[in-house]
Amino acid sequence: MTKINNLGDRLKKIRKDKNLRQIDLANSLGLAQTTIANYEQGTRFPNEKTLSQIADFFNISLDYLLGRSDTLINNEAITYQQRDINENTEFLLLRKKYFDFVLSGDKDLATKLILDAARNKFSVRDIYFYVLERSLKEVGRLWEMNIMDISQEHYFSNVTQQIMSQLYPYINTKEKNGYSCISLSVNGDFHNIGIRMVTDLLEAEGWKTYYLGSNIPTQNVIKTVKDRKADMLVISATMAFNLDSVSNLIKAVRSAKECKNIKIIVGGRAFNIDKHLWKTVGADGYASTAEETVKLVENLTKTEV
């Protein structure tokens, strides 16, 4: 297991050292007491923003909180706001409308809003990057804070997937570039929207893509890589407890003689909370968003030319 599993013990120790109850810390961070309890028990894992809030609250480093270092002092600036970019106001308005429509249960209006935007104004790429992906991250954040329940999160995700399937005809696809890619979610992980976005966008960039979904036996993944002569394998993991499965899959692929030259990229929320984990599991690279993944695939491909 990776050191990331030390977070629960470290959080509990730091909290007790400060003579804080779980409810005290929860109130200070705007979370539910049960959320703090779940963090300490290891049944849930904080998202990136919450990790930064915890580290800032206690004035400790993220490396210490995640068990990567025994240095307690926080010399890092909070990066969550730094990663925010200045968006086109139209994207912000479109995303707000979409978010509100879906949360109110008006799937038809949400679908019409996005399809009209794809027909008349924005590329599917920009809709993926600036509307759908960011909406889903906000949903994940609200669920993590117990503001949104699991049924709302699943409904939002399912509506988004349905809309994505209707957006595919509007994707402008480049001429095939001769490369092929296998994409999947690791076993036990059913959050597939992000990896579906990546697959669609790589298809648009000229890649021949094979999206496998989730819960694919390792030997079948290896067989598909061989049969399709894949140049790239993209693996998504949402939950931290699936990291060992990612590592085991990568080891198995690397051990197959016909797969030794394949490039492997990982992504998903499990990797976003610790930017060094991709090295731990043996990948060739990591990206935190669909846009970054497409760029990383392009860069890794160039290094082989």
Geometric angle at alpha carbon 291, from 226 and 176, rounded to 5°: 45
Instruction: Please report, for residues 36, 182, 210, 236, 300, the alpha-carbon distance to residue 213 in angstroms, rounded to integers and kept in the order given.
Output: 32, 10, 9, 10, 23
For residue 162 the two structure tokens come to 């349905």
Res. 84: pLDDT tops 90: no
Q: Which range among 58-67, 202-211, 246-255, 280-289 shows the weakest confidence by mean pLDDT?
A: 58-67
pLDDT level of residue 261 (50, 70, 90 thresholds): confident
pLDDT average, residue stretch 48-74: 73
Q: At what angle do helices 290-302 and 193-204 cross, to 10 degrees?
A: 50
| H or E element in which residue 163 lies | helix 150-167
> The domain 89-170 belongs to what CATH superfamily?
Methionine synthase domain (1.10.1240.10)
State residue 4's pLDDT score: 41
Higher per-residue pLDDT: 144 or 22: 22
Residue 65 and residue 81: Cα distance in Å, rounded?
20
Res 254 pLDDT > 90: yes
Domain 3-82 grouped into CATH 3.40.50.720: no
* CB-CB contact of 4 with 66 (8 Å): yes
Q: What is the pLDDT of residue 128?
A: 93
Question: Among residues of the chain, what percentage have pLDDT more than 90?
Answer: 43
Domain 3-82 and domain 180-302, same fold? Reply is no
Higher pLDDT, 47 or 263: 263
Indicate the domain borders of the chain. 3-82, 89-170, 180-302
- What's the CATH fold of domain 180-302? Rossmann fold (3.40.50)
- What's the rounded mean pLDDT across residues 268-280? 84
Q: Give me the mean pLDDT over the 153-182 stretch.
A: 91
Rounded to whole angstroms, the Cα distance separating 297 from 198 reads 10
Maximum average pLDDT range among 1-5, 27-31, 196-200, 291-295: 196-200
pTM of the model: 0.69
